[in-house]
Chains A and B, each alone.
Chain A
Amino acid sequence: LAKTTQPISMDSYEGQEVNITCSHNNIATNDYITWYQQFPSQGPRFIIQGYKTKVTNEVASLFIPADRKSSTLSLPRVSLSDTAVYYCLVGAPKGKLIFGQGTTLQVKP
Chain B
Amino acid sequence: EAGVTQSPTHLIKTRGQQATLRCSPISGHTSVYWYQQALGLGLQFLLWYDEGEERNRGNFPPRFSGRQFPNYSSELNVNALELEDSALYLCASSFGGQVGEQYFGPGTRLTVT
Residues of A within 8 A of B (CB): 32, 34, 41-46, 49, 87, 89, 91-102
Interface string of B27-65 (1 = CB under 8 A from A): 000000101000001111100100000011010000000
Distance, CA A102 to CA B43, complexed state (A): 9
Q: How many residues of B contact A (CB 8 A)?
A: 25
A94-B56 contact in complex given A43-B90, A43-B106, A49-B101, C-beta closer than 8 Å: yes
Closest approach, in angstroms, between the C-beta of A4 and any C-beta of chain B? 9
Residues of B within 8 A of A (CB): 4, 33, 35, 41-45, 48, 55-56, 58, 90, 92, 97-107
Q: Number of A-B pairs whose CB atoms are under 8 Å?
A: 60
Distance, CA A15 to CA B90, complexed state (A): 32
Q: A34-B99, A97-B56 are in contact. List 17 more A-B contacts (CB 8 A).
A: A34-B101, A41-B106, A42-B106, A43-B106, A43-B107, A44-B104, A46-B103, A91-B99, A92-B99, A93-B97, A93-B98, A95-B99, A96-B45, A99-B42, A99-B43, A101-B42, A102-B43
